[in-house]
Amino acid sequence: MKIMGNWLRIFGLAVIWVLAISIGWAEEGAQKIAELGECRLASGKVVLDCKVGYRTFGVMNADGSNVVVMPSWLNGRSDELIPFFGEMESGHRLVDTSRFFGVAFDAFGDGVSSSPSNSKRQHGPEFPAFTMEDMVRAQYRVLTEVLHVRHVHAAVGLSMGGEQVFAWAVLYPKFLDMAVPIVGTPQVTSFDLLSKQILIEAIESDPGYMGGRYVTEPELKLANAIGTLIVSAPQYRNAEVPKERFAEWMKLVESPQRQDANDRMWQAKAIMHHDVLHGRTIEEVARGLPVKFLVIVAAEDRMVTPQPALEWAKAVGAETYISAGNCAHLIMNCDADAVSSRVERFLAR
């Protein structure tokens, strides 16, 4: 009986060990929500019942020096960032999780983190306007209060995620070592403002939007078409969609997106107000930062003008890559290998 009891204990421990491993695997990249109570915004307003979605990949080392954060892009969520993390080499991986502990964040207004669509006490138009810096401050709280991170190796982000990376570097320059903004900008230009203003007006003028107090999600066909128009260069679209397939493709372009209309509006307005310079010049802000930069832009980008990011790179003497791919802002669609290899080399330093 004693022998049988020992075997049962050994077997039980083995089962527990296997379950622990299984749970760990299941949690790799799983959606998590950090409850932060209240999040005070730069405007002085407060997000009530503030929450931030995040996913983790890999293992944090003993001294916590291998953390890499990645915020989500415009109208995107952290689940779309999963392919950029992994242990196996690929043509699109940005963060090697055999070396780094990755944290992917859901930005405010994506329907997972606090947003007009999911707030019970500040629903729809009652939700306060937020900025890129507000997003980053909330993410910082998740790292320090929930994950107990004391330092970040790098922040990496694409598009609006890249704009959050610039905010990370300016808000917390001693908290992170490296920054990799990809098709992002430290400050929107007039052309950037034009495209976002047209998008916002397309949403506001949709009969189903009703000032943001809709019950049924509006179709937003025009807004969807405008978004598709500005994210790539003409050569890319012409090659992807033959003329004879235009009508079929247009139906897909105009079809409803998963993002709530108010969420899209709030994020678009956050981009319109994006400016980490706050009245100073790029040289004044960038040169005083201890953060090392790798700046990646797309030469044909119509969504985010590359010039401010290139000026930033020049001011700090940063490594720069200018993608000539005709998919433009959709840089990972046709130039992923070049982007991936440069980011991974940079992070490994």
Compute the chain's Rg from CA coordinates. Answer: 22
Q: What is the token pair recorded at 162? A: 């890249």
Residue whose pair of structure tokens reads 């909330």 in the numeric block: 138
Find the catalytic residue in 159, 195, 232, 323.
159
* Cα–Cα distance for residue pair 75/53, rounded to 1 Å: 14
In the chain, how many H helices and how many E strands?
12, 10
3-state secondary structure of 244: helix
Tell me the C-alpha to C-alpha distance, in Å, between residue 108 and each of 303, 320, 321: 20, 29, 29
- Between the alpha carbon of residue 184 and those of residues 165, 192, 243, 266, the distances in Å are 8, 11, 31, 18
151 is catalytic: no
Q: Which residue of the set 260, 263, 275, 301 is catalytic?
A: 301
Catalytic status, residue 96: no
Selection from 309, 314, 316 nearest residue 286 by Cα: 316
* Candidate list 232, 329, 335, 340, residue with the active-site label: 329
CB atoms within 10 A of CB 296: 28
Bridge partners of 96, per DSSP, are 86
DSSP 110-174: SSSSS-TTT-SSS-GGGSPP--HHHHHHHHHHIIIIIS----EEEEEEETHHHHHHHHHHHH-TT
Residue 301 annotated in active site: yes
| Residues labelled as active-site residues | 159, 301, 329
